[in-house]
Structure 1
Amino acid sequence: MALLPVEEALARLLAGAAPLGEETIPLAQAGGRVLARPVIAHQTQPPFDASAMDGYAIRAADVLSVPVELKLIGESAAGKRFSGVVANGEAVRIFTGAPVPQGADTVLIQENTKRLAGDSIRVLQTVAQGRNIRRAGLDFAVGDVLLEPGRVLDPAALSLAAAANNAELHVVRQPKVAILATGNELVAPGENPGPDQIIASNTSGIAEIVRLNGGMSLDSGIVRDRIEDIETAIGTAIEMGADILVTSGGVSVGDHDLVHAALTRRGMKLDFWKIAMRPGKPLMSGILPGKVRVLGLPGNPVSSLICAHLFLAPLVCALSGRHYRPDIRAARLAIDLPANDSRRDHIRAEIALAENGELVATPLPLQDSSMLSALARANGLIIREPDAQPARAGAPCEVFMLR
């Protein structure tokens, strides 16, 4: 059977993937979520004419000629306004953010005055009408549409929604991603592995990729290589409301690779299995009853994480309402590379900025798909298309940035 090209596999995986509906959540929990409805202003900001500076609220007509003395009649502070009216020859001490009193039409900054004995100030510089005043509604007014659907709620968006008196927001529902690791050889981090066991590491990296792309991970634990146990774990993930079931390991063709069989017994409709890429050839995709999407990742840690970057990240984005933009950049090779075979290769590399402003990609010397230390060292992947010819140092290449 011919291996499926990477582009076709990704297109099939994302076919029909769309935001999952909406939910209403408290503003304090909305960071990083995607708006499902517009954010409307429920009050005007600022709600009154406010001073933009510390100084004195006065009438501009009183300071057409300087120096001149004005009578100080009171104070206006943020949260406690001056309730009187400023008349000819009068001034009110005012602070940043405080309401501008009635009768005043400008704010004179305090540096351009001198405080005199008693209740008066000497004005040393003229000021035009309307200076240093933030007019009511300068930022927004009641009923304004402040944020459109599809906006990722970053710090500025959250602050804007709060300023407009929105205590709750309508957001796209987070996709729930159940992560199931399989293998007799695996134990959880913190446990003591037996003589033939290793620490399960894939779940931690996969969960972070889910989080970074707007999803919620559900740790389904580690399941031994027993088809009944794997079936039970699949059923539990479905009962937990998973939108995506990610399996790690058990998708190859060995005697102990039982995930495909267990999924089939649970009713999975297989879409594809095995793609033309390195690392990550055994990648599997299908649909379980209830429209639960399945992504079967290889067990080798590097293969698992690279497949999660390339396939799981865009799928989670599509379901969470985010627009997926892979960070692919132009670079030049630091060393010669041999011809590639029939699979797209993703070579772990260090990407650095040269003095001429170009990116230079240096492949790491060891590319074994079990070496997490090399993947952690790499900040990008050199993409080598199937059947690519040998390339010399300095030749152009494409790199997929990991960080």
Structure 2
Amino acid sequence: MSALLTLEEAQARLLALAPQPALTRSGVAIAHGAFLAEDLLAMRTQPAADLSAMDGYAICGDGASGAKGTWTLVGESRAGLPFDGALKDGQCVRISTGAHVPPSGISVLIQENAHVDGDTISLAPDEQAPEDGRHIRKAGFDFTKGQTILGKGTRMGPAQIALALSAGHDTILHREKPYTSVLDSGSELTQFAADCQPHQIPASNGAMIAAMLQPFTGLVENLGPVPDDMDALAAALDKADGHILITSGGASVGDHDLMQAALKAWGAEIDFWKVGIKPGKPLMVATRGKGDERQVILGLPGNPVSSFVTAFLFALPLVKAAIGDPEPLPKPTYVKSAEALPAVGTRREFLRGVCDGATVKRAASQDSSALLALASSNCLIDRPAGSDAVAIGQLVPIFHLENG
């Protein structure tokens, strides 16, 4: 019997198959979550001119002739309405935050430190003149035209959207979100959760997986539930014409586990099957078609917790890689264990856990069908194969989850 693939081996092989949807351009304002397909260079300089950082008076020189610390008010510079002209020695203009500092303006005297007497502006008692450059945002201090402001692979969040717009971009280039199909199988499944008979189980895996992937993928079409029947599976698979197909259930080798056979009959080629993790050993990866028409198929276990864990470790990175995320795999953080943990056997274990920010403990149940315990968890505790027992207070790696 061949050795099981490690998590890293399986993830690397899957991500090497990630589809590459077409490149497209979208308006920056609606590009939240997209990954840049090219470096983004500034189309303008920000700020384009020296700007005031405070409300007050832009001053020139150390004061009027014979009246150090006193300036003559000659106008106003407002945000969007700059003063027309340059300042001469001993002159100043009223200025608001964000307004252009006129040529020859050397600093801004903030209004709290100014004494106003008609058109004469002087230092308030016990105040000193601001040093040169004080309260001025110099032209180009944020970025300059031609500068790379965001690198290829950057995910567009609120701050990145604001930066791209400020740099003069109306659109960005990114990959389209992959079209994804989800198919959960099993004769015990029913789509009618409110009218579930004793011999049935409400189908939940498809909706669970779709919700997990939704921020990173396009339309997620749920093709299930489908009974354990070759004809029914064939009919459902014929509807899966997108970039990615994710199946749940039927991937093992029991008498009624028909997914592998159905996929092969559909024209899929199995790339690998079985990974040395718990839960999630009967994970399967296959492809169908060639080149740009190739579909990637990810077969997840049917038990809901196993399906969730493998979707988190494999399906989520797959769709993130497809839209251009250069680092699609989840990243661990380390916290102290609030309880003793036993040694680990030959398969890497992912325990459902509850983290309070500083410590972590296991959820009440680790059974692969326990949805109540899963829904109360906010992380996975990573226990590599062969790990020694963990004492209370020892650091352990965890992966944070988003459960709603």
Q: Does TM, normalized by the shorter one, top 0.5?
A: yes
Find the counterpart in structure 1 of residue 173 from structure 2: 170
Find the counterpart in structure 2 of residue 375 from structure 1: 374
Aligned with residue 237 of structure 1, among 237, 240, 255: 240
SS in 1 for 2:195: coil
Find the counterpart in structure 2 of residue 92 from structure 1: 93
Map 1:79-158 to 2 at 5 A: 79-116=80-117, 118-124=118-124, 125-158=128-161
SS in 2 for 1:98: coil
Find the counterpart in structure 2 of residue 347 from structure 1: 351
Residues 396/45 of structure 1: CA separation in 2 closer, same or farther (3 Å cut): closer
Find the counterpart in structure 1 of residue 31 from structure 2: 30
Q: State the alpha-carbon separation in 2 of the partners of residues 146 and 32 from structure 1.
A: 17
More off after superposition, 271-280 vs 16-25: 16-25
Residues 148/342 of structure 1: CA separation in 2 closer, same or farther (3 Å cut): closer
Q: How much has 1:64 moved relative to structure 2?
A: 9.2
**Any unmatched runs of 5+ in structure 2?**
none
Q: State the alpha-carbon separation in 1 of the partners of residues 11 and 64 from structure 2.
A: 70
Answer whether contact 1:63 1:126 (CA < 8 A) is retained: no
Answer whether contact 1:182 1:248 (CA < 8 A) is retained: yes
Q: State the alpha-carbon separation in 2 of the partners of residues 207 and 378 from structure 1.
A: 19
Q: State the alpha-carbon separation in 2 of the partners of residues 270 and 5 from structure 1.
A: 14
Q: How much has 1:195 moved relative to structure 2?
A: 4.2
Aligned with residue 317 of structure 1, among 317, 320, 342: 320
Letter in 2 for 1:316: V
Answer whether contact 2:115 2:121 (CA < 8 A) is retained: yes
Residues 128/347 of structure 1: CA separation in 2 closer, same or farther (3 Å cut): closer
Q: How much has 1:332 moved relative to structure 2?
A: 5.9
Q: How much has 1:66 moved relative to structure 2?
A: 6.5
Aligned with residue 223 of structure 2, among 202, 216, 221: 221
Find the counterpart in structure 2 of residue 43 from structure 1: 44
Q: Percent identity?
A: 39
RMSD between aligned residues = 2.9
Letter in 2 for 1:206: I
Answer whether contact 2:181 2:223 (CA < 8 A) is retained: no
Cα displacement string for residues 186-225 of structure 1 (whole angstroms, at most 9, x for unaligned residues): 344765334433322222332243245x333512232421
Q: State the alpha-carbon separation in 1 of the partners of residues 66 and 199 from structure 2.
A: 92
SS in 2 for 1:60: coil
SS in 2 for 1:315: helix
Find the counterpart in structure 2 of residue 201 from structure 1: 204
TM-score scaled to structure 1, two decimals?
0.86
Residues 333/148 of structure 1: CA separation in 2 closer, same or farther (3 Å cut): closer
Find the counterpart in structure 1 of residue 279 from structure 2: 279
More off after superposition, 380-389 vs 203-212: 380-389
Q: How much has 1:166 moved relative to structure 2?
A: 0.3
More off after superposition, 292-301 vs 175-184: 175-184
Residues 223/379 of structure 1: CA separation in 2 closer, same or farther (3 Å cut): closer
Cα displacement string for residues 213-267 of structure 1 (whole angstroms, at most 9, x for unaligned residues): x3335122324213333223322221xxx22210112223344433222211110
Q: How much has 1:33 moved relative to structure 2?
A: 1.4
Residues 365/248 of structure 1: CA separation in 2 closer, same or farther (3 Å cut): same
Find the counterpart in structure 2 of residue 400 from structure 1: 398
Find the counterpart in structure 1 of residue 79 from structure 2: 78
Q: State the alpha-carbon separation in 1 of the partners of residues 246 and 239 from structure 2.
A: 13
